[in-house]
Amino acid sequence: MLTNSFTGETAELIIDGKGYRLPIIMGTEGERAIDIRLLRAQSGYVTLDSGYMNTGSCLSEITYLDGEKGILQYRGYSVEDLAEQCSFVEVAYLLVNGSLPTRDELKNFSHMLGKYALLHEDMVHFFDRFPPNAPPMSILSSMVNSLCTFYPEMVNNPLEKIDKMTARLISKVRTVAAFSYKKSMGHPLVYPRHDLSYCANFLNMMFDSPVNPYEVREEVVRALNKLLILHGDHEQNCSTSTVRLVGSARVNLYASISAGISALWGPMHGGANQAVVEMLEEIYLNGGDYKRYIERAKDSKDPFRLSGFGHRVYKTFDPRSKIIKQVCDEMLNALKLSDPLLDIAKEIERVVLKDEYFIERHLYPNVDFYSGIIYRAIGIPKNMYTVMFALGRLPGWIAHWKEMWDDPNWRIGRPRQIYTGPKLRPFVPIDQRSSA
């Protein structure tokens, strides 16, 4: 149960000479916030915070991050420890349930993931109706929304069946992702197998073929586990806030997650991993002159930005990007691969970290800067990179939806606005109107 941590202290806001005392609350890691929930009722004022730069939308026990110090923790565990020691399935369990699984709990959860991996065959036919070039993120969002039509019993009292829904979603989203790839290639579908782990199963569904059996390599499975863990949750980012906001209207989990997938699609958010590789390819094909692109990114008249740099919250290294860079090196070495895009990426990072423009604005590589190069090495096509992000983020979205649903202080999400349009004016009949 989420508890308000009132410190007993207050902040005083003075408007037109009148003082309003606002309670100060504190999180477990010492974060302090001014509780303005009663401000409008008491003073008639609302607050304005476009882009939610400074607004806490909820209390949450799932993820702690400190953007100034580059700290990221899930349920109190550092992401570095989790990436080093756990499988993605363990971390998914941790995010959704709040504690690391025991051996028995992990066995049971893994068993459920195996049990629910198949899609209803009628759903499989949906894939035949999408155009061949349909973006996989669009397919993923539609298919996840459709799940509630096949599993409607999940909708009425969701928290009673949350374990089942969680396993269904985490397992089936992986199958949807792999099937959408196979369909886009015009290749036969490869069904999930009970004997393979979560990540190995995904890789096998993606790349196995009747003419070319796929060898699941341990190095690739390890890299994929780490990538998914690092994407597991990131507190109130755009897609997670979307899941919470949509879910706050008391809509079912599948519809809420489908909305989150749509939010993640954007190039300013999860779509950045694809944008990074496209940018690196363009630089490579244009002779490798990355410095020209860095100069463009600094030009205020040019809308171009260096994809994979900057973050709303991190004003130092994104801790995930450090691990991902290491995973990238390890995996390419293990597979004895080299990639000119990785060389360009490292050069860009080296130059940018010494450049005043980026230093002044605290722009560091983010989680997306190296992840696309790993996906490329695995053989995942560019338009699937953001789908991979969604696979990793899914347990985080589910955890937030569950926490929001269970919160005794739950209210439907409904921001205010400051109206700046025309004042009330007389209605003009159509034949008396002139164009503006």
Q: Which residues bind ligand ACO (CB under 6 A)?
A: 268-270, 272, 297, 305-312, 361, 363, 366-368
Nearer to ligand ACO, 179 or 265 (CB): 265
CB of 367 to ligand ACO, least distance (A): 5
By three-state DSSP, how is residue 244 classified?
helix
Nearer to ligand ACO, 308 or 395 (CB): 308
Per 3-state DSSP, the chain is made up of helix, strand and coil in percentages (nearest 5) of 55, 10, 40
Nearer to ligand ACO, 260 or 270 (CB): 270
Nearer to ligand ACO, 187 or 312 (CB): 312
Q: Amino acid letter at 11?
A: A
Nearer to ligand ACO, 117 or 373 (CB): 373
Nearer to ligand ACO, 21 or 361 (CB): 361
CA 187 – CA 246 distance, rounded (Å): 36
CA 58 – CA 3 distance, rounded (Å): 11
Terminal C-alpha separation, the chain: 55
The residue with its CB nearest to ligand ACO is 310
CB of 431 to ligand ACO, least distance (A): 46
CB of 311 to ligand ACO, least distance (A): 5
Cα–Cα nearest to 391, from 228, 253, 279, 274: 228
Cα–Cα nearest to 70, from 241, 319, 344: 319
CA 162 – CA 165 distance, rounded (Å): 5
CB of 70 to ligand ACO, least distance (A): 14
CA 259 – CA 320 distance, rounded (Å): 25
Q: How far is CA 220 from CA 201, 303, 375, in A?
A: 12, 36, 10
CA 117 – CA 283 distance, rounded (Å): 40
C-beta separation of 406 from 159 below 8 A: yes
CB of 239 to ligand ACO, least distance (A): 8
CB of 177 to ligand ACO, least distance (A): 18
Residue 217, CB half-sphere, CA atoms under 13 Å: how many? 12
Q: Which amino acids are annotated catalytic?
A: 311, 368
Strands in 40-190 per DSSP E: 63-66, 71-74, 77-78
C-beta separation of 364 from 355 below 8 A: no
